[in-house]
Structure 1
Protein backbone atom coordinates (compact mmCIF):
# COMPACT_ATOMS: atom_id res chain seq x y z
CA UNK A 1 0.00 0.00 0.00
CA UNK A 2 1.03 3.58 -0.67
CA UNK A 3 -0.40 5.76 2.14
CA UNK A 4 0.24 8.98 0.22
CA UNK A 5 -2.23 7.79 -2.44
CA UNK A 6 -4.81 6.20 -0.16
CA UNK A 7 -5.10 8.69 2.72
CA UNK A 8 -6.57 11.43 0.53
CA UNK A 9 -7.68 11.67 -3.12
CA UNK A 10 -4.36 12.16 -4.90
CA UNK A 11 -3.37 12.49 -8.54
CA UNK A 12 0.12 11.80 -9.88
CA UNK A 13 1.02 13.82 -12.95
CA UNK A 14 3.94 13.18 -15.28
CA UNK A 15 5.05 15.57 -18.02
CA UNK A 16 7.57 15.60 -20.86
CA UNK A 17 8.22 17.52 -24.07
CA UNK A 18 9.56 15.74 -27.16
CA UNK A 19 11.66 17.86 -29.51
CA UNK A 20 12.64 17.33 -33.15
CA UNK A 21 16.21 16.44 -34.06
CA UNK A 22 18.90 19.11 -33.57
CA UNK A 23 18.91 21.56 -36.46
CA UNK A 24 15.36 20.71 -37.53
CA UNK A 25 13.41 23.98 -37.72
CA UNK A 26 10.32 22.47 -39.36
CA UNK A 27 8.85 19.83 -37.07
CA UNK A 28 7.10 21.02 -33.88
CA UNK A 29 7.64 19.91 -30.30
CA UNK A 30 5.05 17.70 -28.62
CA UNK A 31 4.04 18.18 -24.97
CA UNK A 32 2.59 15.20 -23.11
CA UNK A 33 0.93 14.98 -19.70
CA UNK A 34 -0.33 11.84 -17.96
CA UNK A 35 -2.33 11.53 -14.75
CA UNK A 36 -3.14 8.61 -12.47
CA UNK A 37 -6.79 7.64 -12.26
CA UNK A 38 -6.96 5.36 -9.20
CA UNK A 39 -5.56 4.92 -5.69
CA UNK A 40 -3.17 2.20 -6.87
CA UNK A 41 -1.49 4.36 -9.53
CA UNK A 42 -2.00 1.61 -12.08
CA UNK A 43 -4.31 3.39 -14.54
CA UNK A 44 -3.41 6.60 -16.33
CA UNK A 45 -5.00 9.00 -18.79
CA UNK A 46 -2.99 11.16 -21.17
CA UNK A 47 -3.25 14.60 -22.76
CA UNK A 48 -1.16 15.77 -25.73
CA UNK A 49 -0.53 19.18 -27.29
CA UNK A 50 1.62 20.43 -30.17
CA UNK A 51 3.72 23.56 -29.72
CA UNK A 52 6.49 25.47 -31.45
CA UNK A 53 9.67 23.51 -32.06
CA UNK A 54 12.44 23.57 -29.43
CA UNK A 55 10.09 25.08 -26.81
CA UNK A 56 10.72 23.32 -23.50
CA UNK A 57 8.07 25.19 -21.53
CA UNK A 58 4.66 23.49 -21.77
CA UNK A 59 2.60 26.27 -23.32
CA UNK A 60 -0.83 24.64 -22.93
CA UNK A 61 -0.22 23.06 -19.52
CA UNK A 62 -3.24 24.76 -17.92
CA UNK A 63 -5.64 23.24 -20.46
CA UNK A 64 -3.98 19.83 -20.14
CA UNK A 65 -4.23 19.81 -16.34
CA UNK A 66 -7.88 20.86 -16.52
CA UNK A 67 -8.54 17.98 -18.90
CA UNK A 68 -6.95 15.40 -16.61
CA UNK A 69 -8.54 16.79 -13.44
CA UNK A 70 -11.95 16.48 -15.09
CA UNK A 71 -11.16 12.91 -16.13
CA UNK A 72 -10.04 12.13 -12.56
CA UNK A 73 -13.34 13.48 -11.17
CA UNK A 74 -15.38 11.53 -13.72
CA UNK A 75 -13.45 8.36 -12.91
CA UNK A 76 -13.14 8.58 -9.12
CA UNK A 77 -16.06 10.83 -8.20
CA UNK A 78 -13.82 13.14 -6.17
CA UNK A 79 -11.49 16.06 -6.76
CA UNK A 80 -7.84 15.36 -5.85
CA UNK A 81 -6.73 17.04 -2.65
CA UNK A 82 -3.05 16.56 -3.52
CA UNK A 83 -1.04 16.76 -6.73
CA UNK A 84 2.41 15.21 -7.13
CA UNK A 85 3.92 16.37 -10.42
CA UNK A 86 6.97 14.66 -11.96
CA UNK A 87 8.54 16.70 -14.78
CA UNK A 88 10.98 15.08 -17.18
CA UNK A 89 13.41 16.71 -19.59
CA UNK A 90 14.34 19.89 -17.72
CA UNK A 91 17.94 21.01 -17.25
CA UNK A 92 19.19 22.96 -14.24
CA UNK A 93 19.29 26.17 -16.26
CA UNK A 94 15.54 25.87 -16.87
CA UNK A 95 14.51 25.29 -13.25
CA UNK A 96 13.51 28.90 -12.63
CA UNK A 97 11.47 29.02 -15.84
CA UNK A 98 9.44 25.87 -15.17
CA UNK A 99 9.00 26.74 -11.50
CA UNK A 100 7.50 30.10 -12.39
CA UNK A 101 5.39 29.12 -15.39
CA UNK A 102 4.37 25.49 -14.87
CA UNK A 103 3.57 25.58 -11.16
CA UNK A 104 1.54 28.70 -11.92
CA UNK A 105 -0.21 26.87 -14.76
CA UNK A 106 -1.20 24.04 -12.41
CA UNK A 107 -2.62 26.52 -9.91
CA UNK A 108 -4.45 28.36 -12.70
CA UNK A 109 -6.01 25.09 -13.87
CA UNK A 110 -7.39 24.44 -10.39
CA UNK A 111 -8.81 27.96 -10.15
CA UNK A 112 -10.42 27.56 -13.55
CA UNK A 113 -12.36 24.54 -12.31
CA UNK A 114 -13.45 26.20 -9.08
CA UNK A 115 -12.39 29.50 -7.53
CA UNK A 116 -11.91 27.96 -4.07
CA UNK A 117 -10.22 24.78 -5.27
CA UNK A 118 -6.60 24.79 -4.08
CA UNK A 119 -4.99 21.33 -3.77
CA UNK A 120 -1.47 21.06 -2.40
CA UNK A 121 1.15 20.71 -5.14
CA UNK A 122 4.58 19.12 -5.13
CA UNK A 123 6.68 19.68 -8.26
CA UNK A 124 9.63 17.34 -8.88
CA UNK A 125 12.04 17.40 -11.82
CA UNK A 126 13.42 14.04 -12.97
CA UNK A 127 16.81 14.08 -14.69
CA UNK A 128 18.65 11.28 -16.48
CA UNK A 129 21.20 13.35 -18.38
CA UNK A 130 23.94 13.67 -15.80
CA UNK A 131 27.32 12.09 -15.13
CA UNK A 132 26.85 10.66 -11.63
CA UNK A 133 27.51 6.92 -11.32
CA UNK A 134 27.69 4.80 -8.17
CA UNK A 135 29.62 1.59 -7.46
CA UNK A 136 29.80 -0.65 -4.38
CA UNK A 137 32.97 -0.27 -2.32
CA UNK A 138 33.14 -4.03 -1.88
CA UNK A 139 32.47 -5.93 -5.13
CA UNK A 140 30.65 -8.72 -3.29
CA UNK A 141 28.02 -6.18 -2.16
CA UNK A 142 26.98 -5.43 -5.73
CA UNK A 143 24.63 -7.34 -8.02
CA UNK A 144 25.70 -9.76 -10.74
CA UNK A 145 26.52 -6.86 -13.10
CA UNK A 146 28.75 -5.17 -10.51
CA UNK A 147 26.26 -2.35 -9.91
CA UNK A 148 24.83 -1.20 -6.60
CA UNK A 149 21.65 -3.04 -5.57
CA UNK A 150 18.27 -1.73 -6.64
CA UNK A 151 16.95 0.95 -4.30
CA UNK A 152 20.19 2.83 -3.70
CA UNK A 153 19.58 6.41 -2.53
CA UNK A 154 22.27 9.08 -2.34
CA UNK A 155 21.17 12.32 -0.67
CA UNK A 156 24.38 13.55 0.97
CA UNK A 157 27.84 14.55 -0.18
CA UNK A 158 27.30 15.15 -3.90
CA UNK A 159 23.82 16.71 -3.78
CA UNK A 160 22.98 20.41 -3.41
CA UNK A 161 24.04 21.76 0.01
CA UNK A 162 20.62 23.16 0.95
CA UNK A 163 18.05 22.34 -1.75
CA UNK A 164 15.85 19.21 -1.78
CA UNK A 165 17.31 16.70 -4.24
CA UNK A 166 18.53 13.10 -4.30
CA UNK A 167 19.76 10.35 -6.59
CA UNK A 168 17.76 7.14 -6.78
CA UNK A 169 19.06 4.02 -8.54
CA UNK A 170 15.74 2.22 -8.55
CA UNK A 171 16.49 -0.49 -11.11
CA UNK A 172 18.81 -3.49 -11.14
CA UNK A 173 21.24 -3.13 -14.03
CA UNK A 174 21.24 -6.11 -16.38
CA UNK A 175 24.24 -5.04 -18.45
CA UNK A 176 26.82 -2.30 -18.12
CA UNK A 177 26.86 0.54 -15.61
CA UNK A 178 23.52 1.63 -14.18
CA UNK A 179 22.61 5.31 -14.41
CA UNK A 180 20.59 6.64 -11.46
CA UNK A 181 17.82 9.21 -11.78
CA UNK A 182 18.26 12.62 -10.20
CA UNK A 183 15.14 13.99 -8.50
CA UNK A 184 15.01 17.72 -7.71
CA UNK A 185 12.07 19.05 -5.67
CA UNK A 186 11.39 22.62 -6.81
CA UNK A 187 8.11 23.19 -5.00
CA UNK A 188 6.61 21.21 -2.12
CA UNK A 189 3.30 22.02 -0.43
CA UNK A 190 2.76 18.42 0.72
CA UNK A 191 5.65 18.75 3.18
CA UNK A 192 7.48 15.57 2.23
CA UNK A 193 10.43 14.50 4.29
CA UNK A 194 13.39 13.15 2.34
CA UNK A 195 12.70 9.59 3.45
CA UNK A 196 9.01 9.79 2.57
CA UNK A 197 9.51 11.02 -0.98
CA UNK A 198 12.43 8.67 -1.63
CA UNK A 199 10.50 5.66 -0.35
CA UNK A 200 7.36 6.60 -2.29
CA UNK A 201 9.26 7.19 -5.53
CA UNK A 202 11.11 3.88 -5.24
CA UNK A 203 7.88 1.98 -4.60
CA UNK A 204 6.31 3.68 -7.60
CA UNK A 205 9.13 2.34 -9.78
CA UNK A 206 7.74 -1.17 -9.16
CA UNK A 207 4.41 -0.26 -10.81
CA UNK A 208 5.47 0.21 -14.43
CA UNK A 209 2.93 -1.66 -16.57
CA UNK A 210 5.29 -2.94 -19.26
CA UNK A 211 7.50 -5.12 -17.12
CA UNK A 212 7.65 -6.99 -13.82
CA UNK A 213 10.95 -5.43 -12.72
CA UNK A 214 11.70 -2.04 -11.25
CA UNK A 215 12.39 0.68 -13.81
CA UNK A 216 14.97 3.44 -13.75
CA UNK A 217 12.51 6.35 -13.68
CA UNK A 218 9.25 6.95 -11.86
CA UNK A 219 6.35 5.69 -14.05
CA UNK A 220 4.38 8.97 -14.52
CA UNK A 221 7.44 10.61 -16.09
CA UNK A 222 8.19 7.41 -18.02
CA UNK A 223 4.65 7.28 -19.41
CA UNK A 224 4.77 10.95 -20.41
CA UNK A 225 7.97 10.27 -22.35
CA UNK A 226 6.26 7.36 -24.12
CA UNK A 227 3.19 9.46 -24.96
CA UNK A 228 5.29 12.26 -26.45
CA UNK A 229 7.31 9.79 -28.54
CA UNK A 230 4.22 7.88 -29.65
CA UNK A 231 2.27 11.00 -30.59
CA UNK A 232 4.48 11.68 -33.62
CA UNK A 233 3.07 8.54 -35.23
CA UNK A 234 -0.42 10.05 -35.02
CA UNK A 235 0.41 12.87 -37.41
CA UNK A 236 -1.46 13.08 -40.70
CA UNK A 237 1.69 14.53 -42.21
CA UNK A 238 4.12 11.86 -43.33
CA UNK A 239 7.06 14.24 -43.05
CA UNK A 240 6.79 14.32 -39.27
CA UNK A 241 8.45 10.93 -39.11
CA UNK A 242 12.07 11.20 -38.02
CA UNK A 243 12.97 8.85 -40.87
CA UNK A 244 11.64 11.24 -43.51
CA UNK A 245 13.35 14.28 -44.99
CA UNK A 246 12.00 17.68 -44.03
CA UNK A 247 10.11 19.84 -46.50
CA UNK A 248 8.63 23.30 -46.38
CA UNK A 249 5.40 23.33 -44.38
CA UNK A 250 5.91 19.85 -42.94
CA UNK A 251 5.54 21.13 -39.38
CA UNK A 252 2.03 22.54 -39.74
CA UNK A 253 0.40 22.36 -36.31
CA UNK A 254 -2.96 21.47 -37.83
CA UNK A 255 -1.59 18.26 -39.29
CA UNK A 256 -1.53 16.60 -35.87
CA UNK A 257 -4.20 13.96 -35.35
CA UNK A 258 -5.71 14.21 -31.88
CA UNK A 259 -6.44 11.16 -29.76
CA UNK A 260 -10.14 10.18 -30.07
CA UNK A 261 -12.23 10.94 -26.94
CA UNK A 262 -13.05 7.24 -26.65
CA UNK A 263 -9.39 6.60 -25.84
CA UNK A 264 -9.04 9.44 -23.37
CA UNK A 265 -9.42 7.23 -20.30
CA UNK A 266 -7.37 4.23 -21.43
CA UNK A 267 -3.61 3.73 -21.72
CA UNK A 268 -3.49 3.82 -25.52
CA UNK A 269 0.22 4.69 -25.43
CA UNK A 270 1.18 1.30 -23.99
Structure 2
Protein backbone atom coordinates (compact mmCIF):
# COMPACT_ATOMS: atom_id res chain seq x y z
CA UNK A 1 0.00 0.00 0.00
CA UNK A 2 1.41 3.36 -1.02
CA UNK A 3 -0.23 6.55 0.20
CA UNK A 4 -3.67 4.94 0.39
CA UNK A 5 -6.45 7.33 1.33
CA UNK A 6 -10.11 6.51 1.85
CA UNK A 7 -12.88 8.79 3.08
CA UNK A 8 -16.60 8.35 3.57
CA UNK A 9 -17.94 11.82 3.04
CA UNK A 10 -15.98 14.09 5.38
CA UNK A 11 -14.81 11.16 7.53
CA UNK A 12 -11.25 10.27 6.52
CA UNK A 13 -10.77 6.62 7.48
CA UNK A 14 -7.40 5.95 5.84
CA UNK A 15 -5.07 8.92 5.61
CA UNK A 16 -2.07 8.13 3.45
CA UNK A 17 -1.33 4.58 4.60
CA UNK A 18 1.97 2.98 3.57
CA UNK A 19 2.26 -0.73 4.34
CA UNK A 20 4.50 -3.48 2.98
CA UNK A 21 3.79 -7.17 3.54
CA UNK A 22 6.47 -9.60 2.42
CA UNK A 23 5.56 -13.09 1.28
CA UNK A 24 5.21 -15.72 4.00
CA UNK A 25 4.98 -13.11 6.75
CA UNK A 26 2.20 -12.15 9.13
CA UNK A 27 1.40 -8.50 9.74
CA UNK A 28 -1.00 -7.82 12.60
CA UNK A 29 -3.05 -4.62 12.74
CA UNK A 30 -4.02 -3.34 16.17
CA UNK A 31 -5.89 -0.21 17.21
CA UNK A 32 -9.14 1.02 18.65
CA UNK A 33 -12.45 0.59 16.87
CA UNK A 34 -12.67 3.18 14.12
CA UNK A 35 -8.92 3.37 13.58
CA UNK A 36 -9.20 2.04 10.03
CA UNK A 37 -8.25 -1.63 10.38
CA UNK A 38 -11.31 -3.10 8.68
CA UNK A 39 -11.35 -0.47 5.95
CA UNK A 40 -7.69 -1.16 5.24
CA UNK A 41 -8.45 -4.85 4.68
CA UNK A 42 -11.51 -4.06 2.57
CA UNK A 43 -9.50 -1.77 0.28
CA UNK A 44 -6.91 -4.52 -0.26
CA UNK A 45 -9.71 -6.95 -1.19
CA UNK A 46 -11.21 -4.26 -3.47
CA UNK A 47 -14.45 -4.20 -1.51
CA UNK A 48 -13.87 -0.46 -1.12
CA UNK A 49 -12.41 1.83 -3.78
CA UNK A 50 -9.46 3.98 -2.70
CA UNK A 51 -9.62 7.74 -3.15
CA UNK A 52 -5.88 8.10 -3.60
CA UNK A 53 -2.74 5.97 -3.58
CA UNK A 54 -2.10 2.52 -5.00
CA UNK A 55 -2.13 -1.07 -3.80
CA UNK A 56 0.29 -3.48 -5.40
CA UNK A 57 -0.01 -7.27 -5.38
CA UNK A 58 3.08 -9.00 -6.73
CA UNK A 59 4.06 -5.69 -8.31
CA UNK A 60 0.73 -5.14 -10.10
CA UNK A 61 -1.45 -2.12 -9.33
CA UNK A 62 -4.71 -3.81 -8.34
CA UNK A 63 -6.43 -0.45 -7.81
CA UNK A 64 -6.26 0.27 -11.53
CA UNK A 65 -9.95 0.45 -12.55
CA UNK A 66 -9.15 -1.50 -15.70
CA UNK A 67 -8.30 -4.57 -13.63
CA UNK A 68 -10.84 -7.36 -13.20
CA UNK A 69 -11.68 -7.05 -9.51
CA UNK A 70 -13.04 -10.62 -9.31
CA UNK A 71 -9.81 -11.99 -10.78
CA UNK A 72 -7.81 -10.03 -8.21
CA UNK A 73 -9.99 -11.22 -5.33
CA UNK A 74 -9.52 -14.80 -6.54
CA UNK A 75 -5.87 -14.47 -5.46
CA UNK A 76 -6.85 -13.56 -1.91
CA UNK A 77 -8.85 -15.08 0.89
CA UNK A 78 -10.95 -12.84 3.14
CA UNK A 79 -12.43 -13.89 6.48
CA UNK A 80 -14.76 -11.52 8.31
CA UNK A 81 -15.93 -11.07 11.89
CA UNK A 82 -19.24 -12.72 11.01
CA UNK A 83 -18.99 -16.24 9.65
CA UNK A 84 -21.13 -15.41 6.57
CA UNK A 85 -22.02 -19.04 5.97
CA UNK A 86 -25.17 -19.84 4.04
CA UNK A 87 -27.45 -21.39 6.68
CA UNK A 88 -29.44 -23.48 4.17
CA UNK A 89 -26.29 -25.12 2.75
CA UNK A 90 -24.23 -27.90 4.27
CA UNK A 91 -20.63 -27.22 5.26
CA UNK A 92 -19.25 -28.93 2.15
CA UNK A 93 -21.40 -26.80 -0.15
CA UNK A 94 -20.40 -23.61 1.67
CA UNK A 95 -16.74 -24.43 1.15
CA UNK A 96 -17.08 -25.43 -2.52
CA UNK A 97 -19.39 -22.64 -3.65
CA UNK A 98 -16.74 -20.10 -4.68
CA UNK A 99 -14.55 -22.76 -6.29
CA UNK A 100 -17.44 -23.93 -8.47
CA UNK A 101 -19.10 -20.63 -9.33
CA UNK A 102 -16.17 -18.20 -9.45
CA UNK A 103 -13.19 -20.40 -10.27
CA UNK A 104 -15.19 -22.84 -12.44
CA UNK A 105 -13.67 -25.88 -10.73
CA UNK A 106 -15.60 -29.09 -11.59
CA UNK A 107 -17.84 -30.23 -8.73
CA UNK A 108 -15.93 -33.43 -7.98
CA UNK A 109 -12.57 -31.69 -7.89
CA UNK A 110 -14.00 -28.87 -5.75
CA UNK A 111 -15.43 -31.39 -3.30
CA UNK A 112 -12.13 -33.28 -3.09
CA UNK A 113 -10.30 -30.05 -2.29
CA UNK A 114 -12.97 -29.06 0.23
CA UNK A 115 -12.81 -32.41 2.03
CA UNK A 116 -9.02 -32.10 2.28
CA UNK A 117 -9.29 -28.55 3.62
CA UNK A 118 -11.96 -29.47 6.15
CA UNK A 119 -9.67 -32.24 7.39
CA UNK A 120 -6.93 -29.62 7.60
CA UNK A 121 -9.01 -27.42 9.93
CA UNK A 122 -10.21 -30.37 12.01
CA UNK A 123 -13.74 -30.59 10.63
CA UNK A 124 -13.53 -33.47 8.20
CA UNK A 125 -16.35 -35.28 9.99
CA UNK A 126 -18.71 -32.30 9.78
CA UNK A 127 -18.86 -31.87 6.01
CA UNK A 128 -22.56 -32.77 5.89
CA UNK A 129 -23.58 -30.62 8.85
CA UNK A 130 -25.50 -27.37 8.55
CA UNK A 131 -23.92 -24.24 10.06
CA UNK A 132 -26.39 -24.02 12.94
CA UNK A 133 -25.29 -27.50 14.03
CA UNK A 134 -21.76 -26.20 14.67
CA UNK A 135 -20.26 -24.11 17.44
CA UNK A 136 -19.11 -20.58 16.68
CA UNK A 137 -15.48 -21.68 16.62
CA UNK A 138 -16.31 -24.46 14.19
CA UNK A 139 -18.24 -22.08 11.95
CA UNK A 140 -15.30 -19.70 11.85
CA UNK A 141 -12.96 -22.57 10.97
CA UNK A 142 -15.34 -23.44 8.10
CA UNK A 143 -15.11 -19.82 6.94
CA UNK A 144 -11.31 -20.04 7.04
CA UNK A 145 -11.41 -23.34 5.12
CA UNK A 146 -13.61 -21.68 2.50
CA UNK A 147 -11.02 -18.92 2.09
CA UNK A 148 -8.11 -21.37 1.94
CA UNK A 149 -9.58 -23.88 -0.49
CA UNK A 150 -8.70 -21.73 -3.51
CA UNK A 151 -4.98 -21.58 -2.49
CA UNK A 152 -4.88 -17.78 -2.01
CA UNK A 153 -1.73 -15.73 -2.38
CA UNK A 154 -2.73 -13.66 0.65
CA UNK A 155 -5.11 -14.12 3.58
CA UNK A 156 -6.94 -11.12 5.06
CA UNK A 157 -8.56 -11.73 8.45
CA UNK A 158 -10.75 -9.12 10.12
CA UNK A 159 -11.33 -9.64 13.86
CA UNK A 160 -12.14 -13.28 13.24
CA UNK A 161 -12.48 -14.08 16.96
CA UNK A 162 -14.56 -11.07 18.01
CA UNK A 163 -17.90 -12.87 17.60
CA UNK A 164 -16.76 -15.97 19.50
CA UNK A 165 -17.29 -16.94 23.11
CA UNK A 166 -13.98 -16.70 25.01
CA UNK A 167 -13.57 -20.47 25.29
CA UNK A 168 -13.73 -20.81 21.48
CA UNK A 169 -11.15 -18.14 20.64
CA UNK A 170 -8.15 -20.38 21.20
CA UNK A 171 -9.05 -22.98 18.59
CA UNK A 172 -9.26 -20.34 15.85
CA UNK A 173 -6.06 -18.58 16.92
CA UNK A 174 -4.25 -21.93 17.03
CA UNK A 175 -5.31 -22.56 13.43
CA UNK A 176 -3.98 -19.17 12.34
CA UNK A 177 -0.71 -19.93 14.09
CA UNK A 178 -0.46 -23.18 12.14
CA UNK A 179 -1.10 -21.35 8.87
CA UNK A 180 1.65 -18.87 9.71
CA UNK A 181 4.06 -21.73 10.47
CA UNK A 182 3.24 -23.22 7.05
CA UNK A 183 4.20 -19.97 5.31
CA UNK A 184 0.84 -18.36 4.58
CA UNK A 185 1.06 -14.62 3.98
CA UNK A 186 -1.45 -12.93 6.28
CA UNK A 187 -2.72 -9.53 7.33
CA UNK A 188 -4.72 -9.86 10.53
CA UNK A 189 -6.76 -7.21 12.34
CA UNK A 190 -7.20 -8.29 15.95
CA UNK A 191 -7.56 -7.25 19.58
CA UNK A 192 -5.87 -10.48 20.71
CA UNK A 193 -2.48 -9.22 21.86
CA UNK A 194 -1.31 -12.70 22.79
CA UNK A 195 -1.75 -13.79 19.19
CA UNK A 196 0.06 -10.69 17.96
CA UNK A 197 2.90 -11.29 20.39
CA UNK A 198 3.46 -14.92 19.44
CA UNK A 199 2.60 -15.09 15.72
CA UNK A 200 3.15 -11.69 14.10
CA UNK A 201 6.33 -10.79 12.25
CA UNK A 202 5.30 -7.14 12.44
CA UNK A 203 2.69 -5.26 14.45
CA UNK A 204 1.17 -2.02 13.15
CA UNK A 205 -0.75 0.24 15.51
CA UNK A 206 -3.35 2.24 13.59
CA UNK A 207 -4.65 5.54 14.88
CA UNK A 208 -6.86 8.04 13.04
CA UNK A 209 -6.35 6.25 9.74
CA UNK A 210 -2.55 6.19 9.86
CA UNK A 211 0.08 3.64 10.79
CA UNK A 212 1.05 5.43 13.99
CA UNK A 213 3.70 2.92 15.10
CA UNK A 214 5.08 -0.26 13.64
CA UNK A 215 7.77 -2.78 14.47
CA UNK A 216 8.35 -6.23 15.87
CA UNK A 217 5.90 -7.52 18.49
CA UNK A 218 8.63 -7.12 21.09
CA UNK A 219 9.09 -3.46 20.23
CA UNK A 220 5.49 -2.33 19.70
CA UNK A 221 3.88 -4.40 22.46
CA UNK A 222 6.79 -4.50 24.88
CA UNK A 223 8.41 -1.10 24.46
CA UNK A 224 6.12 1.22 22.47
CA UNK A 225 7.64 4.57 21.59
CA UNK A 226 4.49 6.60 20.93
CA UNK A 227 2.28 7.88 23.79
CA UNK A 228 -0.91 6.91 21.93
CA UNK A 229 0.36 3.35 21.50
CA UNK A 230 1.16 3.13 25.20
CA UNK A 231 -2.30 4.42 26.12
CA UNK A 232 -4.02 1.94 23.80
CA UNK A 233 -2.07 -0.99 25.25
CA UNK A 234 -2.81 0.19 28.79
CA UNK A 235 -6.53 0.03 28.03
CA UNK A 236 -6.13 -3.41 26.44
CA UNK A 237 -4.32 -4.69 29.56
CA UNK A 238 -7.04 -3.27 31.81
CA UNK A 239 -9.65 -5.04 29.70
CA UNK A 240 -7.79 -8.35 30.13
CA UNK A 241 -6.98 -8.80 26.41
CA UNK A 242 -3.17 -8.53 26.59
For normalisation by structure 2, the TM-score amounts to 0.31
Question: Which one has a bigger Cα radius of gyration?
Answer: 1
TM-score scaled to structure 1, two decimals? 0.29
